[in-house]
Amino acid sequence: MNSNAPLEASFSDLKSLKLPYRKLQHLTVVHDGHRYHLMLYLRRRADTLLVLSNGAIDPAKKAPPVFMRSSWAESLPGSLIFIDDPTLHGTELKLGWGQGDRAHFALEAISEIVEALRESLKMPREHMFFYGSSAGGFMSMMLASMNEGTTAIVNNPQTDVLSYYESAVTPMLEHVYGTADRGIIMEEYGYRLNICEAFKHYGHFPPIHYFQNRLSGEDMKKHVAPFISNVLSEGFDMSRLYMHHYFDRDAGHGPLSREGTIRMLEAVMDGDMSYHI
């Protein structure tokens, strides 16, 4: 697929930036002294904007920035923004959950960047969707909670980072926060790591289309059940949570296939509430 030479811009210039159509465009945005990488694929007459976040990466195969699923751009619906996770730069980490560093929560900066791009495209917030699987699903729900009017579409996501595998979580915590003490971290930064805490912090529970393989036992036990319990106990509007269950013993925690993912995204973004996997 054709792509243009990388482009760099300051955050203040985003709303007036001229961007190409029908080609992948690597965009680096300098915001509050930090660099954030995005890959754009814009369509002139698109009536939706889809923002995609990464799951786990393999730094031995591809060093960041990584734009997962950007090779699918021509097949995905709407205009597209692929998000790289800056947490992983200069590390051997495979997962960063958009944490950034202790002083700068990367997802908040990324939220501001995609909001500026949305405004420059004159796209209604109600037509913006955040998608990801696993850690990308976590980041998508976080971003939707920061952007009222938008919708999250997630596949087997984490809802509580600290409940994921310790082998992935502890190195990330030590890199970002300088400690793996869960008590200390949750007291000050819990809203960065737990979806329901984020909903309370940002004062918004967005519409979520939650696609879950019920045969992924770890997901069901550590992320789905506690999440639903917390949503109920906090009194959030359950009508905004659309649970879509499927059964795939072989796939486990792995996401839907490319074809299944595209069908899922098209159905939700077209408002087809009758969709079933």
CATH number of the domain at 3-269, please?
3.40.50.1820
Question: Reduced to 3 states, what is the DSSP secondary structure of residue 252?
Answer: coil
Per-residue model confidence as pLDDT tens digits over 116-125: 999 999 999 9
Q: Which residues contact 15 (CB under 8 A, 6 or more apart)?
A: 116, 119, 120
The pLDDT tens digits of the residues spanning 120-165 come to: 999 999 999 999 999 999 999 999 999 999 999 999 999 999 999 9
How many helices and strands in the chain, by DSSP H and E? 8, 9
Q: Peptide bond preceding 65: is omega within 30 degrees of 0, i.e. cis? A: yes
Gap between the Cα atoms of 166 and 145, Å rounded: 26
Beta-bridge partner residues of 242:
209
CB atoms within 10 A of CB 117: 24
Closest among 217, 271, 215, 221 to 242, alpha carbons compared: 271
What are the structural domain ranges in the chain? Answer: 3-269
**pTM of the full structure:** 0.96
- As a whole number, the mean pLDDT across the chain is 96
- Which phi-psi region, left, alpha or beta, contains residue 122 (left: φ > 0; alpha: ψ -120 to 50)? left
Exposed, middle or buried, 241 (CB in 10 Å: 0-12/13-18/19+)? middle
Single-letter amino acid, residue 130: F
Q: Could you report the per-residue pLDDT of 235-269, keeping only the tens digit for each?
A: 999 999 999 999 999 999 999 999 999 999 999 99
Closest to 239 in 3D by CA, of 206, 204, 216:
206
* CA–CA separation, 29 and 33 (whole Å): 10
pLDDT digits (tens, 9 = 90+) for 52-108: 999 999 999 999 999 999 999 999 999 999 999 999 999 999 999 999 999 999 999
